[in-house]
């Protein structure tokens, strides 16, 4: 009788353990499915946004996104007096790290005139290098990179006879690069831009 009772108790224990495992498995699947269905409103750029651009509700739209492990990586609330820190394409989810207080922005805009034609791939929002050739004797010295990364904010092409078909670009650069760019222009160096790619 004792042996039979022990076998019955052991069978009951195994049954309960098996039942607990099944319940735990079902609960785990339910949790995964519920997590996948949980969405958060995330800000999306409504138009192309450039570095240094103040951002408000008119610049964004909100979409429901299942962020999962990316929770906290994207903008879920729009801070006041905020500025974009890097180019964002229209329709792109806005990373939380791409928005800072306007007072902390380190970029500004400068205007240059390109000595040569600008590549057709260079558009507003493009990331570009700025190259220069210093004046030497009656010509120019070897070309060199002046600014490794700038963002095109505007392009204006002059077609009049006096302008010679020059292209003027408004560039967004770090403030600590402004002096070098102004010095190059003051010295009559030849300037032009080379595309690094589109909005990124």
What's the rounded mean pLDDT across residues 42-63?
90
Q: Where are the beta strands (DSSP E) in the chain?
A: 40-45, 54-55, 60-65, 82-84, 99-101, 107-114, 127-133, 135-136, 139-140, 144-157, 167-174, 190-197
pLDDT tens, position by position, 99-109: 989 888 889 99
Which range, of 81-90, 103-112, 158-167, 190-199, averages the lowest pLDDT?
158-167
3-state secondary structure of 103: helix
Q: Let me know the angle formed at the C-alpha of 83 by 97 and 43, rounded to the nearest 5 degrees.
A: 60
Task: Express each pLDDT in 113-148 by its tens digit.
Answer: 988 888 888 988 899 999 999 998 888 899 999 999
Give pLDDT, residue 3: 55
Q: Residue 34 pLDDT > 80, yes or no?
A: no
More confident residue, 138 or 160: 138
pLDDT of residue 26: 73
Of 13 and 71, the one with more pLDDT? 71
Residue 21 pLDDT greater than 70, yes or no = yes
Q: What is the pLDDT of residue 130?
A: 95
Q: What is the predicted pLDDT for the residue at 165?
A: 59
According to the model, what pLDDT value does residue 115 have? 84
Nearest-10 Cα torsion for 177, 182, 185, 186: -140
Q: Please tell me the predicted confidence (pLDDT) of residue 111.
A: 93
Helix, strand, coil % in the chain, rounded to nearest 5: 30, 35, 35
């Amino acid at each position: 009788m004792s042996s039979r009772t022990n076998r019955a108790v052991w069978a009951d224990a195994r049954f309960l353990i098996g039942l607990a495992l099944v319940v735990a498995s079902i609960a785990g699947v339910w949790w995964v499915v519920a997590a996948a269905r949980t969405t958060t409103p995330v800000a999306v750029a409504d138009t192309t946004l450039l570095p240094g651009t103040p951002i408000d509700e008119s610049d964004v739209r909100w979409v429901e996104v299942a962020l999962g492990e990316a929770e906290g990586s994207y903008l879920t609330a729009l801070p006041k007096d905020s500025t974009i820190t890097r180019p964002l394409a229209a329709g792109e989810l806005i990373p939380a790290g791409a928005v800072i207080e306007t007072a902390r922005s380190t970029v500004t805009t400068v205007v240059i005139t390109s000595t040569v034609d600008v590549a057709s791939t260079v558009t507003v929002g493009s990331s570009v290098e700025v190259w220069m050739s210093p004046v030497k004797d009656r010509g120019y010295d070897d070309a060199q990179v002046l600014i490794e990364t700038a963002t095109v904010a505007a392009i204006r092409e002059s077609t009049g006879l006096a302008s010679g078909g020059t292209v003027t670009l408004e560039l967004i650069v770090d403030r600590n690069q402004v002096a070098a760019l102004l010095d190059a222009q003051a010295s009559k160096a030849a300037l032009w831009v080379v595309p690094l790619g589109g909005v990124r």
